[in-house]
Amino acid sequence: MEEPIDLLGLSSQELGDVASRILPSGAGLAGQIYSRAYEKGLLDLAGLGLSPRSESAWRERFDLRLLRVLRVAREGGEDGAEKAVFGLADGGEIECVRIPMPGGRGGKSTICVSSQLGCRMACAFCETGRSGLKRNLAAAEIVAQVLTARVSLGWDCGNVVFMGMGECLDNLSEVARAVCILGDSRGLGFSMERITLCTCGPGGGIEALRALGLKRLNLSISLNAGNDEKRDALMPINRGLGLSGLASSLAAYPMRRNFVLGVNWCLLPGLNDSRTDAREAAAFCARVGRCLVNLIPYNPGSSPIARAPEEAEIERFASWLEEEGCAVRRRTSRGGSIMAGCGQLGAPRSGPNGPSQARMGLTGDGVYPRGDVQGEGAGIGGH
């Protein structure tokens, strides 16, 4: 018998089409079953009037695979970040993060999801890149992160950013499918304006994304250096396309009048925080079009390449960018104490420079029970 089809890899329309093709009866209830699946995190067929034969056929041909919640860590304070480590069906582990937004929790929070198990981009400041790429995630595994976080952990997030483990444009077909499923009105119902893809800009990726025609989708680029020599050293992917090619691709990307490109700059003291760096960043932005520079303080990982910047250094660089005509948004550093900050996902669990049990929060305000989540192996389903 064929393996059941995971509902999380289908849109509601696709579920109806597939059910009509492979089920003897009951396909007309696909829309209701789909909505229930996203409300409850399970395949709920009760009370729908299905015959025993139809219900049996639904259960044989379809299922819903949430992820196993292996560990959860939380920073202290109401605005602290939370990190979940999810177990995949093949034994791999990925991480996602809930980032509270200023002014409150719940719907104003953002969930940062992973698109790959590992990453092949090997950016010098990123923990995930040190592990290399093990495999791409399927669309169902990407969607499952959001639904598992909601159902099993109570993370009711209003925004989704693809800024976790992996390079999203390196897995574009599955990421694009996941984006469309996340936006399905019968499911989680995220508007495209609430979803952001963050990329380092692999060759051809931005053009391929544009060709999909997702006009309202947000995009941000991880820049971090404004000259090729420095960006080559920090981000090896730059050696292929180069900043000139990247700027051209981004300048051609906007498909709506009010589009603003996010330009992420991880501030690394002594490496990319000089007045010249600010001037080069501004020059890149001027070539691209409307940009907002997201200034992100570096979060040292298991093998730091710099220290975390001091407040005065962040303020100084932000002021230089503004003097050069850039719109700047300072990102508050969150998650660093639990290895949940930008560039820290996928770190080893122990080691002299890695996140020890204390740093992962196994004492104090870290791993905590919430409902049925009580550490290793807890949760529902199988990411």
Q: Give me the active site residues, please.
A: 342
**Displacement of CA 231 from its chain's centroid (Å):** 23
Q: Which residues pair with 263 in a beta bridge?
A: 221, 293
Q: Which two tokens stand for residue 94?
A: 């990925």
Give the 3-state secondary structure of 35-78: HHHHHHCCCCCCCCCCCHHHHHHHHHHEECCCCEEEEEEECCCC
Q: Which two tokens stand for residue 140?
A: 């169902």
Sort residue 115 into left (φ over 0), alpha (ψ -120 to 50) or beta: alpha
Q: Are strands 291-297 and 195-199 parallel, antiparallel or unpaired?
A: unpaired
- CA triplet 183, 147, 58: central angle to 5 degrees? 90
- CA triplet 344, 335, 199: central angle to 5 degrees? 50
- CA triplet 177, 379, 160: central angle to 5 degrees? 35
Return the SS3 of 350: coil
Q: Which two tokens stand for residue 42?
A: 């399970």
- By CB atoms closer than 10 A (0-12, 13-18, 19+), residue 259 is middle
Residue 321 to residue 340: CA distance in whole angstroms: 27
- By CB atoms closer than 10 A (0-12, 13-18, 19+), residue 364 is exposed
Backbone angles phi, psi at 330, to 5 degrees: -80, 125
Q: Which two tokens stand for residue 148?
A: 């598992």
Residue 279 to residue 276: CA distance in whole angstroms: 5
Backbone angles phi, psi at 311, to 5 degrees: -55, -45
Q: Which two tokens stand for residue 208?
A: 């391929």
Q: Which two tokens stand for residue 220?
A: 């941000």
- By CB atoms closer than 10 A (0-12, 13-18, 19+), residue 17 is middle
